[in-house]
Structure 1
């Protein structure tokens, strides 16, 4: 059992890790400006993570010549962090979603006057936010949060994909009758309500499994799914507006990768030709049959893997390191790409 001092250090450690992004962007509130440097002087792991974040800020700004006509993402996020209201602390499983929501909220002011900019599919910026409003609905509804757009009946026996596509289209059509600011406000309020649920704060409650979007997962994992989609569409919007959105922090990216690998493994099933699959910075997994010799080895960058699973990379264009049976490798890549509904 931890002593009182150890428990205090653990509490401070967790609190400082939540503040590192704001520290790296020079956006800590005055009350928190002394806490982080003091902790970094004593904690090697936090100090290493802080240095990585500082380097990321420098890379995001790029050389001065690259800034012409484009506001650096670090400026966007730093301004948003300084203006942010206090947010409730959440458990580790909901932290990636909280960070993704904060990132999109930081980006959306850059869309002012450009809401009609094409983003992805046939959506503009306004429609993409409306899609996210619809995408968060299933988890919100399961956790007792009322939908903000009236729902229409779903045909009995309809496939979840068909019902989902119809609902997304309904919400987008509804929101195009409102201002973008109203849509953003409803999306942000729904996200805040999700992060305020007991399931976002208490791992024991979030361990309960539920079926959403065609897959049965613990509620904790559904929060990670929400983070995945929010980041993907933030990246979509950023590209449309000329801003390079950074990848999630390493710890959050690892959560996205591990969940994506589990879903990919389930989709491939135990009869697929076995492939030793690795994601840089993460562990290795055997995908497919565990009773046969490994037919191939495949390694991907974590961001590229997430973009492949999110439908933003194709099997032909995703960078990879691979040896062995090309058919087995192709099967993994094509199955990963086929799982996207984003």
Structure 2
């Protein structure tokens, strides 16, 4: 007698009723079906667990973020970085929360700092800021609230000026602030990874490109503010999975068509970390042709744009 071995598990889980007469008459196959049903019952009873409390809001926020119309790439970059950051926090042992990061703050202090900058954006939007809690829960609550708020945002809200993080007070539209939130979340995630002896991880190439674009848009004005603005531009070549070329004016009074004084070639992820002040500006940080002073001025000011 042939046994329908490849169909027995389907029958055990309610499919293939045509196999029923054979199972009823065959003790061998009936035992196989019974064993499969017992295993399914055991898995369901021993491994089921309620989902983590923040999971529902994160799934909903991410779904809102990809549903048209959406707030765009700034929001998707933040959702991606926040998800990666949460995975990292969930992996930390109690002792690792007290480790020092590169700037001397503990991991816990750094997470509180990140939560505070998220909270500033929420406050500027008039959204309720979650009450103070331990660092991990406070960051998660505020990140959830920020994603829910921005995920439902209309154009008028995305254009509302809110505070950017940084030593110099500055307000920019919410859509730009969300790109900075993605930028800072990435950088502080890598700060924590370094503290626990893990290698850095760059954002997805399209998100990294948007983060770099955000910084480059601020750079001409920052050159002026630093007293290093001058006529001309620098041709910036960013290498990597999504290579790109940018003409960066050396002053807000210069046009993108200004004569190029220098060419700078640097990997995109290194330039992102340089903007965050995590890569020192040295003569070998990039390949430079043309005016070294113009190129190094640009890189030096770029290194002041990022994360505290």
TM-score (ref. length: structure 2): 0.68
Structure 1 residues 235 and 336: CA distance shift in structure 2, 3 A:
same
What's 2:33 paired with? none
Q: CA deviation at 1:337?
A: 1.2
What's 2:139 paired with? 187
CA distance in 1, matches of 2:263, 2:233: 9
**Residue 277, structure 1, aligned to residue 242, structure 2:** no
Structure 1 residues 84 and 146: CA distance shift in structure 2, 3 A:
closer
**1:1-342 correspondence to structure 2 within 5 Å:** 85=56, 86-88=59-61, 89=63, 90=65, 91=70, 92=72, 93-113=74-94, 114-148=96-130, 182-197=134-149, 199-202=150-153, 204-213=155-164, 214-269=169-224, 271-280=230-239, 281-288=243-250, 289-290=254-255, 292-316=258-282, 319-342=285-308
- How many residues are matched? 231
Summarize deviations over 1:90-143 as a string: whole Å, max 9, x none.
132211111111111100122222211111322111111111111112111112
Secondary structure of the 2:282 match is: coil
Secondary structure of the 1:316 match is: coil
CA distance in 1, matches of 2:223, 2:236: 13
Structure 1 residues 266 and 250: CA distance shift in structure 2, 3 A:
same
Q: Does the 8 Å contact 2:215/2:305 carry over to 1?
A: no
Structure 1 residues 272 and 148: CA distance shift in structure 2, 3 A:
farther
Q: Does the 8 Å contact 1:275/1:294 carry over to 2?
A: yes
Q: CA deviation at 1:248?
A: 0.9
CA distance in 1, matches of 2:212, 2:284: 15
Q: Does the 8 Å contact 2:111/2:139 carry over to 1?
A: yes
Runs of at least 5 residues in structure 2 that lack an aligned partner in the other structure: 1-50
Q: CA deviation at 1:333?
A: 0.8
Secondary structure of the 1:94 match is: helix
Runs of at least 5 residues in structure 1 that lack an aligned partner in the other structure: 1-79, 150-174
CA distance in 1, matches of 2:110, 2:277: 15
Q: CA deviation at 1:299?
A: 2.1
CA distance in 1, matches of 2:152, 2:209: 20
CA distance in 2, matches of 1:127, 1:112: 15
Secondary structure of the 2:195 match is: helix
Q: Does the 8 Å contact 2:163/2:171 carry over to 1?
A: yes
Structure 1 residues 207 and 134: CA distance shift in structure 2, 3 A:
closer
Structure 1 residues 300 and 200: CA distance shift in structure 2, 3 A:
farther
Q: Does the 8 Å contact 1:139/1:212 carry over to 2?
A: yes
What's 1:24 paired with? none
Q: Does the 8 Å contact 2:202/2:269 carry over to 1?
A: yes
CA distance in 2, matches of 1:110, 1:226: 22
Q: RMSD of the TM alignment (CA)?
A: 2.6
Summarize deviations over 1:35-76 as a string: whole Å, max 9, x none.
xxxxxxxxxxxxxxxxxxxxxxxxxxxxxxxxxxxxxxxxxx
Q: Does the 8 Å contact 1:200/1:206 carry over to 2?
A: no
